[in-house]
Chains A and B, each alone.
Chain A
């Protein structure tokens, strides 16, 4: 009986997760069966607050997860670089070196002795990368990635702290978001309605992912054209000091 109840609970949870992942702009949309061979995995690390991701230089848990994971892209949201007199603390490059990945960094702003922004890790070298400053604290970043011979993906990211960033950023996104682009970003919770309204057109698919952490002031979002769909996401804490790890399964339709 207990086993049956657990199964039902699991089924209900899975269904909730499935539904919450697919906030398509067309509620009546019928999706085809999930093709896992055309699915990419993105691992997104964030506190979903305005704080820096790493409070110490111990990156071992995230690094081990990336080293053993099958993600095509890993993102370290707010993996700020600290320029100290004797050394520069650069978490993204440290993790990349240990995990055998190629690092990039999206600089949102310089603040004091810090470069605030996000680290991106992928599994191969690239011939192109572009970061376009939107406004102070906000930068559009795009890098082409090789998932496999059947799927080409341009990975993009952006973080929105306020409404004016979103107004300028939305224009850049509309200009650069193609059928090959998967944009995974962060938006302040107070501005998520503005985000969904900016991309209300049927050609886009916006998925908002909320953390279970009540302290989170930001939401994760995935923005694509209708050629992609978020099939599943899971959230797990990394360590005990508030770092969240989101595993996103996104299918190329």
Chain B
């Protein structure tokens, strides 16, 4: 009986070819990826308008690095970033800040500024797998070209995350609504967990937020974020898919004295 069983097994083993092994490995790879995508994971995110790359710190990144280190976020959406602009001593603010923190920096240009550039940025603990900067539309009444910087990041666990930073125009709710719709068109695609942080220059009851951002889960509260001793809520963190993420904790970091905006920080869990 033992011999028969052995020869039966041998026949089956003989049928397997290298291609079967490759298919099996491919299946296991895809299954692993899929499992990683559907395992709940937590991350800590921050959004911070740094006021012209540190006008209040005489353009030193050190006070920003010291503050960020205390909160230890995985990703940071930054606004009002200069890249080699004369007013901020021709520095590459986000690369310097990244170096101080050991994080990966990326800058997204909205406009040229003298011989340099001005826009938004992202810092991430983990390497980017994709980066793109999209200019937002400029409807009548727009004061300045704005952009959204969209990054994709793969975590050590295999999870993929889309993380974006934007800064909407300070002109009017109507202009910002058009810009918010464009941001949505870029980001509300597929089921990749997505976090958007930014200075929206809009209060929670304005249509930019109340209507324009209703497909998102608002990770933050309505507590004011501007100015240093805040009275106005204009900085936000949003998560998508709306039902797939929840806020574990959220904080407005008040009176840092290094910017006219308060950084906001949240821990999020994606299902």
Contact = CB atoms under 8 A, between A and B. Distances in A.
Interface of A: 81, 83, 87-90, 93-94, 96-98, 100-107, 110, 115, 117, 125-133, 135
Contacts of A97: 92, 95-96, 98-99
B105 interface: yes
B95 A88 contact: no
Contact of A88 (B103, B108, B131): B103
Contacts of B117: 125
B211 interface: no
A109 to B, nearest CB: 10
A156 B187 CA distance: 26
A117 B127 contact: yes
Contacts of B99: 90, 93-94, 96-98
A105 B98 contact: no
Nearest to A87: B102
Given A100-B92, A127-B109, A88 B101 contact: yes
Interface residues of B, number: 28
Interface of B: 29, 83, 92, 95-96, 98-99, 101-109, 117, 125-133, 154, 156
A44 B100 CA distance: 25
B107 A125 contact: yes
A132 B83 CA distance: 27
Nearest to A109: B156
**Binding site secondary structure of chain A:** strand
A233 B54 CA distance: 43
Which 3 A/B pairs are nearest by Cβ-Cβ distance? A88-B102, A97-B99, A107-B127
Contact of B103 (A90, A100, A101): A90
Tell me which of A87, A93, A94, A130 has the highest count of chain B C-beta atoms within 10 A of its own C-beta. Answer: A93
A102 B92 contact: yes
Nearest to A121: B95
Contacts of B109: 125, 127
Given A127-B133, A129-B131, A131-B129, A90 B104 contact: yes
B59 to A, nearest CB: 14
Contacts of A127: 108-109, 132-133
A83 B103 CA distance: 10
A166 B92 CA distance: 37
Contacts of B104: 90, 93, 103, 105
B35 to A, nearest CB: 16
A106 B127 contact: yes
Contact of B105 (A103, A107, A135): A103
Given A97-B92, A101-B95, A128-B132, 17 more contacts: A81-B102, A87-B102, A93-B95, A93-B98, A97-B96, A97-B98, A102-B95, A102-B107, A105-B104, A110-B156, A125-B83, A125-B117, A128-B131, A128-B133, A129-B130, A129-B131, A131-B128
B154 to A, nearest CB: 7
Nearest to B99: A97
A100 B84 CA distance: 9
A81 B105 contact: no
A26 B4 CA distance: 59
A101 to B, nearest CB: 8
B138 to A, nearest CB: 17
Contacts of A110: 156
A66 B92 CA distance: 17
Contacts of A101: 95
A126 B102 contact: no
Given A97-B96, A102-B95, A126 B131 contact: yes
A116 to B, nearest CB: 10
8 contacts: A93-B102, A96-B99, A101-B95, A103-B95, A106-B127, A115-B156, A131-B127, A131-B129
